[in-house]
Amino acid sequence: MGKLFKKKPLDLLMYEAAQVGEHTLKRSLGWVNLVALGIGGIIGAGLFVRTAAAIADRAGPSVVLAFVVAGIGCAFAGLCYAEFASMIPVAGSAYTYSYATMGEFVAWIIGWDLILEYAVAAATVSDAWSEYANRVLGWFNMAIPYQWTHSPFEHDPGGTYGIMNVPALFILLLLTMLLIRGTKESAFVNGLIVILKVSIVLLFIGIGWQFINPAHHTPFIPSATTHVTAQGITHHYGGILGILGAAGVVFFAYIGFDAVSTAAQEARNPRRDMPIGILGSLVFCTVLYVLFSYVLSGVATVEDFRAAGREASVAFAISKYMHGYEWLSRAVTVAILAGFSSVILVMLLGQSRVFFSMSRDGLVPSIFSEVHPRYRTPWKSNMLFFVFTGALAALVPADVTGEMTSIGTLFAFILVCAGVWIMRVKHPELERGFRVPAAPLVATLGIITCSAMIYGLGWTNWMRLIVWLLIGFIFYFGYGKSHSHIDAPRPTDMPEGIKMTRDGLL
């Protein structure tokens, strides 16, 4: 049982990070690619949907402050991720960091848990991609029948049941093939998508600014009351509690920046570029979110957002108040579709890299770490996760998969914040390309913030997490524990006292 909490030696991690050759991942990403990956993972439909929901039910125009609060909450975890990624530049993200600080069993839990964040999230977003793709087809008087855009467990008011979600399967296959082709090529396509969706968001901000009605921002922080939603749920509206509640709603529009850390083994200069990628994307998106929410809450009234459907609220505000710019509402739909595409891409990338590291450690079968001889990507892992995510997207309703994603993300954030503090105490001598300022305070605040978010998710999500972890324990004790490489002999070419410097192995 003592093996359960045995930690992976840091010098071995550094040795693995320094390896080159046809059986290792190719270091091809610069800081611009990493920032774009972060933005690609963060900006999805959450910007449009979550903002409207927070305005309507929680904060009114003070949603601007809610985005600041949520951004600060993410910054605690982001700072900790940045220190780890610059210190241990190995694929695997929170899984690898937990293995080095808290031992194999905790590492397995978080590696298994990350499937909820990456693979299940990719399936969920692909379902939404399918819906918006059908909307775009509708502009050209075309549509995919209901049966082929919904799961067998869904039906329309007329009693027509779905068969499978074909468009969701299509986008997952397309992006999987892109990832197999190469990380650099995937990053290039992601960069193009990011440019497109950010440009449309900036267009809305720039054009919408002239349509802001100061009366819609008065009072900026509404008096504290309660609001009952159309579903009969009562929320605190206005005041401090309204802002904090809205911060919890929009927090999930930030999820995705941590996926940058999974690409640490493919960064050309990870010690410098990983902190820039993680924190740069987080800061950029926070500024964009604040500006977007300020304009949106100033263009339309709170009653408008309560009356309009959440997903249609931005288009509704444009149509009602921004006369002459109806084309912009269609552009917003394109931005959402593009946003979904890049989120799926980044999630699939992150998932395959986590299992790449777990496979190298023997906790999952070696097929997950087999690298394509030409493209130097974990192609078999990509294909296996396509089968898994494709089955979820094609056959399981989106609302079921969607509720499973958030808790996995927050759990990972907590362990990373705790891990940074542990490493500061036990290994203060290690060279760090980036250091968290006031680490104990930042780590503690990160743990408290994320724990509060988990508490707010409710007991149903906790039950799903417990069931998922129990399934994971079966896999670990049935396979992972007996195949683990934790007690394997050190590589014969590995020198003693190895450490990583900015320029490579020392």
Q: Which residues contact 68 (CB under 8 A, 6 or more apart)?
A: 286, 290
Residue type, 356: F
Task: Give the containing element (helix H, strand E) for 465.
Answer: helix 459-475
Q: In sequence order, what are the beta bridge partners of 501? A: 504
pTM of the model: 0.84
Q: Report the pLDDT value the prediction gives residue 403, as an integer from 0 to 100.
A: 55
Which positions of the chain have pLDDT values less than 70? 1-2, 19-23, 45, 229-233, 308-312, 397-404, 457-458, 492-506
What CATH number has the domain spanning 2-124+182-379+395-505? 1.20.1740.10
Q: Which of 481, 506, 502, 500 is nearest to 13 (CA)?
A: 500
pLDDT digit string (tens) for 350-395? 899 889 999 999 999 999 999 888 888 899 999 999 999 999 888 8
Q: Report the pLDDT value the prediction gives residue 493, as an integer from 0 to 100.
A: 66
CA 205 to chain centre: 24
One-letter-per-residue 3-state SS of 305-371: HHHCCHHHHHHHHHHHHCCCCHHHHHHHHHHHHHHHHHHHHHHHHHHHHHHHHHHHCCCCCHHHHCC
Question: Could you report how far apart the first and last alpha carbons of the chain are, in Å?
Answer: 35
Q: Where are the alpha helices (DSSP H) in 209-252?
A: 239-250
Q: Report the pLDDT value the prediction gives residue 401, as an integer from 0 to 100.
A: 58
Q: Where are the alpha helices (DSSP H) in 397-438?
A: 398-402, 405-426
Phi/psi of residue 505, each to 5°? -80, 140
Q: Which of 91, 94, 118, 153 is nearest to 388 (CA)?
A: 118
- Structure tokens belonging to residue 236: 């605190």
- Structure tokens belonging to residue 244: 């904090």
Q: Report the pLDDT value the prediction gives residue 402, as an integer from 0 to 100.
A: 56
Q: Report the pLDDT value the prediction gives residue 505, as an integer from 0 to 100.
A: 36
Q: Which of 243, 262, 254, 288 is nearest to 74 (CA)?
A: 254
Q: Report the pLDDT value the prediction gives residue 502, as an integer from 0 to 100.
A: 37
Biggest alpha carbon–alpha carbon distance for the chain:
72
Q: Report the pLDDT value the prediction gives residue 500, as an integer from 0 to 100.
A: 43
- Structure tokens belonging to residue 349: 């990338």
Q: Report the pLDDT value the prediction gives residue 170, as an integer from 0 to 100.
A: 95
- Structure tokens belonging to residue 438: 């006031």
Rounded CA-CA distance 64/66 in Å is: 5
Residue 114 neighbours by CB distance under 10 Å: 28
3 state DSSP class of 155: strand
Q: Where are the alpha helices (DSSP H) in 88-208?
A: 94-101, 104-117, 119-139, 166-181, 183-208
Q: In sequence order, what are the beta bridge partners of 228? A: 234
Residue type, 130: S
Q: Report the pLDDT value the prediction gives residue 491, as an integer from 0 to 100.
A: 75
pLDDT digit string (tens) for 22-71? 567 788 888 999 999 999 988 876 787 778 888 888 889 999 999 998 88
Q: Which of 374, 288, 392 is nearest to 46 (CA)?
A: 288
Q: In the chain, count H helices and then E strands.
A: 20, 4
Q: Which of 275, 215, 244 is nearest to 34 (CA)?
A: 275
Domain residues of the chain, as ranges? 2-124+182-379+395-505
Q: Report the pLDDT value the prediction gives residue 251, as an integer from 0 to 100.
A: 77
Rounded CA-CA distance 298/223 in Å is: 18
Q: Is 394 exposed, middle or buried (0-12, 13-18, 19+ CB in 10 A)?
A: buried
